A and B are shown apart, each in its own frame.
Chain A
């Protein structure tokens, strides 16, 4: 089925561990995004990618690493997880950068860091 998927949907990890969240889209959209959603905050952009091998920081990039070797995949890695990274993570894709292109969201990954 066409769409955008994320895995895992739920993850519990310990402080200091590395964890990778996966995102896969089947539309061949150029742009992909990682957001985190916390209570009381709007969606906050962590990283985005304009194309394979092109990534850039968003509003809250510290502690995260991304890569995009293929157009359809955009994994997000927490190098050494901290409790402050407990959040719901959404991956999104769009045909264009920001302005007039709507974004399509994956189902989210709920990450708990203990």
Chain B
């Protein structure tokens, strides 16, 4: 059974601090690794889709790295702002399925 693990489950961060969290996934049959941001009362929105080992993607203060050989990806948020409060989902894509992690819930304290 393929499993995608995200850690931590939840995280409280002071406004202005930087933070990061992890997505672990199977290292075989890899096709892509997705990161989504999911705000309360809204629907998930894609942040990044990464396909190559060593990929690094950046969008504003948010960036992600990918290590397909060891099966992990990190999401970094620099200088957290209240609007960053959300659940961050990762999903492992093989050529025939997309398996979702349970998410990391990020709460920014003012």
What does DSSP make chain B's interface, helix, strand, loop or mixed? loop
B18-68: which residues lie under 8 A (CB-CB) from chain A? Answer: 31-32, 34, 42-46, 49, 51
Within the assembled complex, what's the spacing in Å between the Cα atoms of A41 and B63?
25
Q: How far is the CB of B7 from chain A (nearest CB, A)?
A: 13
Closest to B93 in A: A99
Count of chain B residues with a beta carbon within 8 Å of a chain A beta carbon: 24
Within the assembled complex, what's the spacing in Å between the Cα atoms of A10 and B79?
37
Within the assembled complex, what's the spacing in Å between the Cα atoms of A102 and B51?
12
Please pick, from A40, A42, A90, A103, the residue contacting B99 in the complex, using a CB distance under 8 A. A42
Closest to B51 in A: A100
Q: How far is the CB of A104 from chain B (nearest CB, A)?
A: 8
Contact between A43 and B89, CB atoms less than 8 A apart: yes
Given A102-B49, A105-B44: A42 touches B96 (CB 8 Å cut-off): no
Within the assembled complex, what's the spacing in Å between the Cα atoms of A42 and B49?
18
Q: Does chain A have a CB within 8 A of B14?
A: no
Q: Does chain A have a CB within 8 A of B10?
A: no
Contact between A45 and B89, CB atoms less than 8 A apart: no
Count of chain A residues with a beta carbon within 8 Å of a chain B beta carbon: 20
Contact between B89 and A98, CB atoms less than 8 A apart: no
| Residues in chain B near residue A98, CB distance under 8 A | 31-32, 93-98
Given A98-B93, A98-B95: A106 touches B102 (CB 8 Å cut-off): no
Closest to B42 in A: A107
Binding site for A on B (CB under 8 A): 4, 31-32, 34, 42-46, 49, 51, 89, 91, 93-103
19 CB-based A-B contacts, threshold 8 Å: A42-B91, A42-B99, A42-B101, A43-B91, A44-B100, A97-B95, A98-B31, A98-B32, A98-B94, A98-B95, A99-B51, A99-B94, A99-B98, A100-B93, A101-B49, A103-B34, A104-B46, A105-B45, A108-B43
